[in-house]
Structure 1
Amino acid sequence: RHAGRVAVNFYGTRLKYRDLYDQVLRLAGGLASLGVEKGDRVALYLLNTPQFIISYMAVLQLGAVVTPISPVYTSVEVRHQLSDSGARVVICQDILYDNVVGTGLDLDAVIVTGIGEYLPWVKRALGRSLLAKAARDLEIPDVEITPGGGVHRFQDLLSRRAAPPPEVGIDPHEDLAVLPYTGGTTGPPKGAMLTHANLLATHYHTMAFWPVVEEGKEVIIAFLPFYHIYGQIVAMINGLFLGGTLVLFTTVDLDDIIDAVDLHQATMLFGVPTFYEYLKEHPRTGRASWKRLKLIISGADTLHETTVEAWEQRTGTRILEGYGLTETTAVSHANPLGRIKVGSFGIPVLNVDAAIVDPDTNEFLPVGEVGELVLRGPNIMKGYWGKPEETAQAMVDIDGDVWFKTGDLVRMDEEGYFFFYDRKKDLIKYKGYSVFAREIEDYLYQHPMIKAAGVIGVPDPKSGHIIKAIVVLEKEARGKMSAEEVIAYCREGLAHYKVPKIVEFRGELPHTDVGKVSRRELREELEDIG
């Protein structure tokens, strides 16, 4: 229906839907010629590029399963995901090829591609700077790949003109489409088994939730990493299923994104809280016509009220907060248009049931009480790949129905809006009190001189845990605000048992791949010191 519409705009290279479909079929044929069959796992170790989209759809065309790998993973981490998933074929960025080799695994095929293959020729020189930004601390090697011995060039497979891919019967409710790996908050990362029906359910129940969205008319700013479930489903899958145009960025360049809002007449923007935090302070933010956007969405972490208020004051628009996990195919809750409640991640989207239970007994709790969020619906994963015990712990029977336990502590108000308190694993026990790290962080964020904060519990034999706050000050406050002043500020607005006993100042905090403050890394630093 949208054959002539632009599907992807990649720094000026435009792929229409007919072109995208043609390349998907050609790559699917090439993969089939290499022996890829229904049910096989194929790893995508790629940056945000047209190749990711083409590869993703080609793998699904064959009834095979996509397992996306973070481009910042080392060869050790790549080895774990390849070994655990059983993937025997990898499609990788050329600069990441050495990491694939470094796994030491005997793979059936490695397909290599470069970022310049889809850049306009006048922008080919831009490719290396994009790689430098995307790879961050990674070294950018000069890559020369010699095909042969199971190594293939991406473009060679496209131009091979292999036989058309075989027609494959797919049971959408049983057959896997994607095997993304969770962040590994407890132990190594686990593969969440997502079916074709899961992908469709998330698309339809989120798009129906926002009636302003129109098929064939949307332009989506797509900078969120596609290997992560948020960018992959909410931006890429939803955008393509809508017949929209993805304005694709390999890196998060705020100037480019600001320019793209008007240049491409964007209608949808998906980001994370840290993105909006930086964007609201950017000197050029006021130049963009933010009011043209139908949806400005934040997910993947808690959106602080100070960020929402400052953004609205700067742009005249409101950010809608949502919620979801890898196991829920990215989305379970969102704020409805016209009924946004600041501080809440919204209400369940269509066809999703949500409840709050006692984390230990699984008994349902009444409105207003804090407990563990449980979910059920067509977006919930089948389980964890190869891990029946972990699946049984996460998918539990409550009063005759199977619910997914999220591990998140939340509260629901009288209007059905949900409020995030903390991850269950981040709960701090101090002298018998239960302390939410996030509550302390939220309070610290309200101080005008504090830019960022992370709170953890330091193990202590007498009190259980001692509360420690790791704080990043605004530039003008550095060297001027003391730890004692931070503690005194906390005493003004927090109960005595919530006040940090230790304050550490840093220039920056560790973050996860999608911009969350990584409390896990902060705790691991303590373990390393100990």
Structure 2
Amino acid sequence: MRSKDPYTSKPWLKFYPEDVPATIEESEIPAVSVPELLDQTARKYPRKAALIFYGKKLTYNDLVDQVDRFATALAGLGVKKNDTVAIYLLNSPQFVISYFGALKAGAKVTPVSPVYTSKEVKHQLLDSEAHTVVCEDMLYANVERTGVPLDNIILSNLGDYLPFWKRSFAKKMISKAYEGLQPPSAEEIKRLGLHVFKELLKSNPPKPPEVTIDPKTDIAALPYTGGTTGLPKAAMLTHFNMVATQHLGKAWWPFIEEGKETVIAFLPLFHIYGQAVLMLTGLTQGQTLVLFTTPDLDEILTAVERYQASSFYGVPTLYEYLKEYDKTSRVNWKRLKVIVCGADSLHDTTCEGWERRTGTKILEGFGMTECTSLSHSNPYTRPKKGSFGVPIPGVDAAVIDMEDHQFKPVNEEGEMVLAGPNVMLGYWKRPDADAETFVEIDGKRWMRTGDMVRMDDEGYFHFFDRKRDLIKHKGYSVFARHVEEVLYTHPQVKAAGVVGVPDPKVGQIIKAYVVLQGEARGKLSEEEIIEFCRNNLAHYKVPGIVEFRGELPKTDVGKVSRRELRDEAEGRI
């Protein structure tokens, strides 16, 4: 076996900021539940604003009171320890209250994407064994169409927590986003035996049941993910996993002061990035979350200044838009303590454009649902462009060969593996996936991430591609990201997605979906794009097919969805 010294010696420690510990032992992480952390925070900062939702404020006292009322209501509806509560809501105070309330009642939560179709909702409800759903009233029809037998359906209306003058706007916005869907009438609610969120809070006292939670074994959340192998499945995240992530993150950013920060929270809370990095970190460290249902650029930029935000978290597509947006310059970005990017790789052109416009740097990080959202980040004192950073304290990372699991030398590509207190127990009801995902090397249990990376000689990690996005063409291995990076250097290419299409002669044909800049549409040909690739790529990496599009499908956090492109391409050829 090749030496693991490059990883056990942790070369990245040389570049840790002075006030960041070299490591954190598991014994240093508080053995408490997630709701206990919220309660502790509320006792320290009872009158501080926990949430600001389009101008409406909710203090920590208010929040815990409503969490306790909701936990009481759930217990009254028969929800017991280890039951699953599905949360099918947009970003809203109700999402936060439902999440913490379900955990306080002893249940586990499974957040459902509000853009899911009834078919996708059905899969998650059945697989997670959820019998209680907290649902946006506008989305009730999607739940009904699943046909899944449920014990409790709790309807929530976005307008209930909005200032009066914002309610009509919200109704129009939601109706437009979910065209064709209508909330059930009061008569239907009564006839169908549905429950109403705000009425449950009014009719139940803040006296939650006493539930004993073992943080290391009791599951807090079942977030669904594409995972490291195959179809979407749920990662089993314990209370300890979540508390560990807060503890490690706090050590990594020691300048983030408890009880003194304000964060703009527009990332979707059902996704692990928004859920763990924004909601859980924010509300267990006494921060104020300025919560948005949709990422409206003007409203976000206005809020950064109005509320004097101290931290900003986004995804590459957002920074790409903002770097070209004139109003971005109205914000004094230099005042912010940290500007972070995650969920996908950040292109150099995006970084450079952002730095020219704002005079600040974006700190790129890396995380997965399976590791409770965070494993790597760039040191705030020494960020490296093109790298997603170094392992944070308490997390071990290495690069291994996909086949024989030997450790790869420095600067050689392989599959990244992780170990640490933030790594999931495993996949829910999927021992087959666990067998593929976890590997023991020299007596240590590692989680295979499915991400192809390399570590440089300073210990910084560089993303290459997802293992499942590897294209086999004429016996060669082609990483989709390699081709995309070259396409992005073309001055007339705005966006690109590359996939492999099965072909009996060559294995897979490389296909590039390309969005052109407005002025180039109708003027640039597919052959010209292919010729550009011939001049900038090895012959076996050149796309055989180029298709122009007006836009590309995106995942919930704004990444180009190669999975959708691949499914579509395979259906056509």
Q: How far apart, in 2, do the equivalents of 1:401 and 1:278 lie?
A: 43
- Determine helix, strand or coil for the equivalent of 1:88: strand
Q: Look up the match of 1:279.
A: 322
The Cα shift of 1:473 comes to 0.4
CA 1:339–1:138 in structure 2 vs 1: closer, same or farther (change >3 Å)? farther
> Does the 8 Å CA contact 1:147/1:153 hold for their aligned counterparts?
no
> Does the 8 Å CA contact 2:139/2:183 hold for their aligned counterparts?
no
Task: State whether structure 2 residue 236 is matched by structure 1 residue 236.
Answer: no
Q: Superposition pairs for residues 291-306 of structure 1, below 5 Å?
A: 291-306=334-349
- Correspondent of 2:463 among 409, 413, 420: 420
One-letter identity of the residue aligned with 1:36: V
Q: Superposition pairs for residues 432-443 of structure 1, below 5 Å?
A: 432-443=475-486
Q: Look up the match of 1:528.
A: 571
Q: Per-residue CA shift, 1:502-526, capped at 9, x if unaligned?
A: 2111101111111111111111112
Q: Look up the match of 2:159.
A: 116
One-letter identity of the residue aligned with 1:351: G
- Correspondent of 1:224 among 264, 267, 276: 267
One-letter identity of the residue aligned with 1:474: Q
Q: Look up the match of 1:506.
A: 549
- Determine helix, strand or coil for the equivalent of 1:124: helix
Q: Look up the match of 1:393.
A: 436
Aligned length: 528
Q: Look up the match of 2:449.
A: 406
> Does the 8 Å CA contact 1:182/1:192 hold for their aligned counterparts?
yes
CA 1:271–1:435 in structure 2 vs 1: closer, same or farther (change >3 Å)? same
The Cα shift of 1:462 comes to 2.3
> Does the 8 Å CA contact 2:229/2:433 hold for their aligned counterparts?
no
- Determine helix, strand or coil for the equivalent of 1:286: helix
> Does the 8 Å CA contact 2:454/2:463 hold for their aligned counterparts?
yes
Task: State whether structure 2 residue 87 is matched by structure 1 residue 44.
Answer: yes
Q: Look up the match of 1:56.
A: 99
The Cα shift of 1:458 comes to 2.0
Gap regions ≥5 residues in structure 1: none
The Cα shift of 1:184 comes to 6.3
Q: How far apart, in 1, do the equivalents of 2:51 and 2:206 lie?
A: 26
The Cα shift of 1:440 comes to 1.1
> Does the 8 Å CA contact 2:50/2:283 hold for their aligned counterparts?
yes
- Determine helix, strand or coil for the equivalent of 2:555: coil
- Correspondent of 1:266 among 287, 306, 309: 309
Q: Look up the match of 2:30.
A: none
Task: State whether structure 2 residue 120 is matched by structure 1 residue 77.
Answer: yes
The Cα shift of 1:187 comes to 4.4
Which segment is superposed worse, 5-14 or 393-402? 393-402
One-letter identity of the residue aligned with 2:185: E
The Cα shift of 1:447 comes to 1.6
Q: Superposition pairs for residues 430-469 of structure 1, below 5 Å?
A: 430-469=473-512
Q: Which structure has the higher relative contact order (CA within 8 Å, separation 6+)?
A: 2
Q: Superposition pairs for residues 36-435 of structure 1, below 5 Å?
A: 36-132=79-175, 135=177, 138-145=179-186, 146-147=189-190, 149-162=192-205, 164-183=207-226, 187-435=230-478
Q: How far apart, in 2, do the equivalents of 1:331 and 1:245 lie?
A: 21
Q: Per-residue CA shift, 1:375-422, capped at 9, x if unaligned?
A: 000000001111111112111111211100011100000011111111
One-letter identity of the residue aligned with 1:206: G
Q: How far apart, in 2, do the equivalents of 1:246 and 1:445 lie?
A: 35
- Determine helix, strand or coil for the equivalent of 1:208: helix
> Does the 8 Å CA contact 2:264/2:300 hold for their aligned counterparts?
yes
What TM-score do you get using the length of structure 1 for normalisation? 0.97
The Cα shift of 1:207 comes to 2.1
- Determine helix, strand or coil for the equivalent of 2:190: coil
What TM-score do you get using the length of structure 2 for normalisation? 0.90
The Cα shift of 1:217 comes to 0.8
Q: How far apart, in 2, do the equivalents of 1:205 and 1:198 lie?
A: 11
- Determine helix, strand or coil for the equivalent of 2:252: coil
One-letter identity of the residue aligned with 2:180: E
The Cα shift of 1:77 comes to 1.1
Q: How far apart, in 1, do the equivalents of 2:482 and 2:148 lie?
A: 45
Q: Per-residue CA shift, 1:284-325, capped at 9, x if unaligned?
A: 111111112111111111110000000010111111111111
- Determine helix, strand or coil for the equivalent of 1:306: helix
Q: How far apart, in 2, do the equivalents of 1:502 and 1:417 lie?
A: 35
- Determine helix, strand or coil for the equivalent of 2:232: coil
Task: State whether structure 2 residue 524 is matched by structure 1 residue 484.
Answer: no
Q: How far apart, in 2, do the equivalents of 1:242 and 1:153 lie?
A: 30
The Cα shift of 1:457 comes to 1.5
Q: How far apart, in 2, do the equivalents of 1:140 and 1:280 lie?
A: 35
> Does the 8 Å CA contact 1:300/1:514 hold for their aligned counterparts?
yes
Q: How far apart, in 2, do the equivalents of 1:35 and 1:88 lie?
A: 10
- Determine helix, strand or coil for the equivalent of 1:378: coil
Q: How far apart, in 2, do the equivalents of 1:82 and 1:142 lie?
A: 20
The Cα shift of 1:147 comes to 3.3
Quote the RMSD (CA, aligned, Å). Answer: 1.4
The Cα shift of 1:142 comes to 5.0
The Cα shift of 1:467 comes to 1.5
Task: State whether structure 2 residue 562 is matched by structure 1 residue 519.
Answer: yes
Q: Per-residue CA shift, 1:454-496, capped at 9, x if unaligned?
A: 1111222222222111110000111111122212222222222
Q: How far apart, in 1, do the equivalents of 2:180 and 2:332 lie?
A: 37
The Cα shift of 1:129 comes to 3.4
Q: How far apart, in 2, do the equivalents of 1:223 and 1:413 lie?
A: 34
Q: How far apart, in 1, do the equivalents of 2:183 and 2:240 lie?
A: 42
One-letter identity of the residue aligned with 1:203: Q
The Cα shift of 1:132 comes to 4.5
